[in-house]
Amino acid sequence: MDELTIAVTSITITTPDPRGLAAFYSRLLRLPVTTEDGPRPGNPPTDGWAQIRNATGPTLNFEYEAEWAAPEWPSRAGAQHATQHLDIHVNDLAAAVEHALTAGATLADFQPQDDVRVLHDPSGHPFCLFT
């Protein structure tokens, strides 16, 4: 057991538009989309898969989800919950929020902390920018 190696290498995010969401995170994180697959035969045009590789952190994969329901944040009983989210460190919170909005994010109505901003990506996943 001492020789066992375990490492998180990637995070897969489901979405009704994987290539569109990869393009958003490419703009947001200033990383290239490294892999894209188009729709499979018989599936809608937004079907597919995409990936952003990050040399200093986990790879982000974007996978098509036909039965997508955007999570509600903050959570409330009976609604789709966000079971995980990305935390993204920034050195200038105000500038990073403006950058995220320009990239296509929306600012969440509820903001729980002064040094964190909760935003939503174009598919509705919440993510946090923090200093």
pLDDT for the residue numbered 102? 98
Closest by CA to 88, choosing from 59, 110, 118, is: 118
Q: What is the pLDDT of residue 91?
A: 97
The pLDDT value recorded for residue 1 is 62
Q: Do domains 10-64 and 86-130 have the same CATH topology?
A: yes
pLDDT of 100: 98
Look at residue 54 in the predicted model and tell me its pLDDT: 86
* Domain ranges, ordered by start, for the chain: 10-64, 86-130
Distance CA 32, CA 23 (A): 8
Q: Which strands make up the sheet holding 106-107, listed edge to edge?
A: 86-89, 126-130, 116-120, 106-107
Sign of dihedral through CA atoms 71, 44, 18, 39? positive
- The per-residue pLDDT for 2 is 83
pLDDT along the chain (131 residues), means of 10: 88 97 98 96 96 91 95 89 92 98 97 96 97 95
Q: What's the pLDDT score for residue 55?
A: 85
Report the distance separating Cα 93 and Cα 50, nearest Å: 28
121 burial (CB, 10 Å; 0-12 / 13-18 / 19+) is buried
- Compute the distance between CA of residue 122 and CA of residue 106 in angstroms, rounded to an integer: 8
Fold type of domain 86-130:
3.30.720
Q: What is the pLDDT of residue 108?
A: 97
Q: What CATH architecture applies to the domain 10-64?
A: 2-Layer Sandwich (3.30)
User: What pLDDT is recorded for position 82?
Assistant: 86
